[in-house]
Amino acid sequence: MASPNKENSIEHVKAHHHPHLIAKRLADGPDSIYLKEFIYGAVDGAITTFAIVAGVAGAGMPAGVIIILGFANLLADGFSMAVSNFLGTRAENQHRKKVRLMELDEIERFPEGEREEVRQILAMKGFEGQLLEDAVEVITSDKEKWVDTMLLEEHGMTLQEHNAFKAGLATFVAFCLVGFIPLTTYVTNWVLPGLIANPFEWSAVVTGIAFFWVGAVKGKFVSHYWLLSGLETVVVGGIAAIMAYGVGVLLKGLVG
């Protein structure tokens, strides 16, 4: 019988819940994980770059055009996505600050109404009687904890800010690294002419592998079966590639 995974073993779980480790973990706050940004950038980079490869190949245009358009896409689209992610994340952080100030203002101006909100929130969680009143008293005795409770429970927000720069950087790096993969066969032939006989076919193969790898990595992080997660990403990317190739074939006659 196979031994249990170390991270899921009861010994590991017990050690992870030692009182001083719990106190340190809570004091440090949750880690920021930029998985969404990485997956977003990686999948979009591979899909858009291979779509260019497929469309240009379908139109029968020279390999040099594929390389030029591919690199233009990597830099321009990758930067655009990174900036959009940066601005979106920063806007989310700014909105959180605005709501925090609004709640502080409401606590100052109408504390009884805000206290009643806390009371009803806790009542919905099963608190009642004197325990409910004691819990309300504890939470509302500290304005920071009071506001934190309102952000979490009333507004459905997280308390931790996401680093906007790191979010944008994760998107850009993933976009460029994975997005470059569809171009590798064409760049290889540019450096070493004629080395790869069928660059488009091999580009499709390595891009499919890249799609699968990104999906499998995502599956590992979200505890989803890696094979299904990888195939899901391959299917999504494949549909986009087929559409781009089809458009290239249909518009081939316009290239003269």
Return the pLDDT at 43: 82
Say how far apart CA 117 and CA 153 lie, in whole Å.
10
Return the pLDDT at 176: 94
Low-confidence ranges of the chain (pLDDT < 50): 1-4, 6-7
Q: H helices within the chain, ranges in order?
A: 10-16, 19-28, 35-58, 63-109, 111-124, 129-140, 143-149, 164-179, 184-191, 199-221, 226-250
Return the pLDDT at 116: 95
Return the pLDDT at 102: 95
Spatial CA neighbour of 148 closest among 92, 107, 100: 100
Tokens 């990597």, residue located: 74
Return the pLDDT at 89: 92
Say how far apart CA 185 and CA 81 lie, in whole Å.
25
pTM value is 0.75
Return the pLDDT at 85: 92
Spatial CA neighbour of 154 closest among 124, 123, 117: 117
